[in-house]
Amino acid sequence: MSWIEIILLAFGLCADTLAVTMAFGAAKGRISFKNHLRIDLSFGLIHVLFLGLGWMLGEAFLEVISAFDHWVAFGLLLLIGVKMIADSFKADAHEASVDLLKPAQLALAAVATSIDALAVGISLAIVQMPAQRILATIGILFAVTASVAAAGLAGGGAFKKVLGTKAGIFAGIILIAIGIKILLEHLVF
């Protein structure tokens, strides 16, 4: 997996984070630096924890699924991508009144938007991404997710007007394309 694919994957994984933080930023308006930082870091940390956990699970079961691993990776990325695209068409899918200033609600929102990272982590183990590359991927995912959360909070209403449902559609297409590439690499080469 190239560095560009890893960066695109990171952006794809944090589309939900962007939607949640945009909605909250639009509803709350100005947020203190301390709360901004706490929210940004929470989303980034939970995303990388889930990606790392998924990768470790995938590594543990790699021998069992190695005969059909490319189909599993493709299937997971396809399902996540299709779900992201479908969710982007649901009216007010991310408009639920979640107060990210409350620790329990912040944790719940961060976990809910990170489930996809768990499945992608499994996929990265299936394509046998080495440990040093997964560490770099985790660093990139953290930086991208925390930055996207910060941008969502700061931009709030303006981002929402510009991107609307397009962020989820774009993210879903990226994940599906990466899944197709993985499948083709294993079937053709």
Where do the domains of the chain lie? 3-188
The pLDDT of residue 139 = 96
In sequence order, what DSSP letters do the residues of 18-80 get, joined into one string?
Answer: HHHHHHHHHHH----HHHHHHHHHHHHHHHHHHHHHHHHHHHHTHHHHTTSHHHHHHHHHHHH
Q: Does 160 have pLDDT greater than 60?
A: no
CA distance 20 to 189: 40
| pLDDT band, very low/low/confident/very high, at 149 (cuts 50, 70, 90) | very high
pLDDT digits (tens, 9 = 90+) for 6-52: 999 899 888 878 878 887 887 777 889 999 999 999 999 999 999 99
Proportion of the chain above pLDDT 70, given as a percent: 85
Contact 4, 134 (CB under 8 A): no
The pLDDT of residue 7 = 92
CA distance 67 to 139: 30
| pLDDT band, very low/low/confident/very high, at 94 (cuts 50, 70, 90) | very low
Q: Does 134 have pLDDT greater than 80?
A: yes
What is the pLDDT averaged over residues 160-169? 63
Q: Does 137 have pLDDT greater than 70?
A: yes
